[in-house]
Structure 1
Amino acid sequence: MDLRPGRSSLGGPRKFYEELGERLCEAVAIVARYDSVKDKDGETRRKRNESFEAESPEAEVPDNGAFLWHWFWELRQAQPPGLSGPVPIPNIELSAWCQLTGNIIRREELAILRIMDARFCIEIEKESEAIRAREATT
């Protein structure tokens, strides 16, 4: 049975990992956009929305992906910010993390961690650009 992540109209393991990855990426996007980037006043988008009494979405982590969620933030925490934006988690960092923690990552889980990381970097850049644009108009 082919367990590689990817498109599958038949369901099964490939579909499971695809859907799990999509849900985790959506949760990562929310955290990145609403909780991770601060403006010049030290406010996140969530805090800014609260001051205008606007609602902000909450990240919904699926129970069957909670361990990947935890692993992802553990890996991101060890990643220093880049000079020109977020830096993807390098393979050597993942390898060292696996050796240090004893965690064994399946290839499907690694693929999900990679797409979560890519989405995080994209969303951080989008939010940083939105802050720059907002600050340029004020």
Structure 2
Amino acid sequence: MADENGETRRQRNERFEFISPELQVPDGITHVWDWFWQLSGRRHSGPEALTFADVGEWSRLLGIEVLPEEVQMLMAMDDQYLRAVREDQRAARERAQQQ
């Protein structure tokens, strides 16, 4: 996800010659990965958590059958995503204070 300057974390890492790990999504769950990014792109404002209501309404409106295990995966992915966003935000504030 791009920051306020349009730069992603991976791009920033490359600029500072820091190697980002390659992500490998197992074949059997690529659909959950895709679903997560569809849902994540619909956040109302800022890095707010996805809710069960968000997932349920999305699933209902699009006619997608989501298994309970897949909902758990989506929520776990969202938890990790929010941790990473908060780390990036904290790092950005620290960089701004150093300038």
Deviation at 1:113, TM superposition (A): 0.8
Assess, with a 3 A threshold, how the Cα gap between structure 1 residues 98 and 42 changes in structure 2: closer, same or farther.
closer
User: What secondary structure, in the 3-state scheme, does the structure 2 residue paired with 1:69 have?
Assistant: helix
Other structure's SS at 2:24 match: coil
CA deviation profile, 1:17-43 (whole Å, cap 9, x unmatched): xxxxxxxxxxxxxxxxxxx2425x443
Aligned position for 1:129: 90
Mark the runs of 5 or more structure 1 residues left unpaired by the alignment. Answer: 1-35
In 1, Cα distance between equivalents of 2:25 and 2:71: 17
Equivalent position to 2:73, from 112, 122, 132: 112
Q: Which residue of 1 aligns with 2:13?
A: 49
Quick check: 1:38 aligned with 2:21?
no
Displacement after TM superposition at 1:136 (Å): 1.3
Which structure carries more relative contact order (alpha carbon 8 Å, separation 6+)? 1
1:76-91 equivalent positions in 2, closer than 5 A: 76-82=40-46, 86-91=47-52
1:59-70 matched pairs, under 5 angstroms? 59-70=23-34
TM-score (ref. length: structure 1):
0.63
**Could you tell me how far apart the structure 2 residues matched to 1:49 and 1:122 are?**
18
Considering only aligned residues, what root-mean-square deviation do their CA atoms show, in Å? 1.7
Greater radius of gyration (CA): 1
- Structure 2: gaps of 5 or more residues: none
Query: What's the offset of the Cα at 1:45?
Result: 2.9
- Give % identity: 34
User: What CA distance in whole angstroms lies between the structure 2 residues aligned with 1:37 and 1:135?
Assistant: 17
Question: How far, CA to CA, are the matches of 1:128 and 1:37 in structure 2?
Answer: 12
Q: Between Structure 1 and Structure 2, how many residues are aligned? A: 99
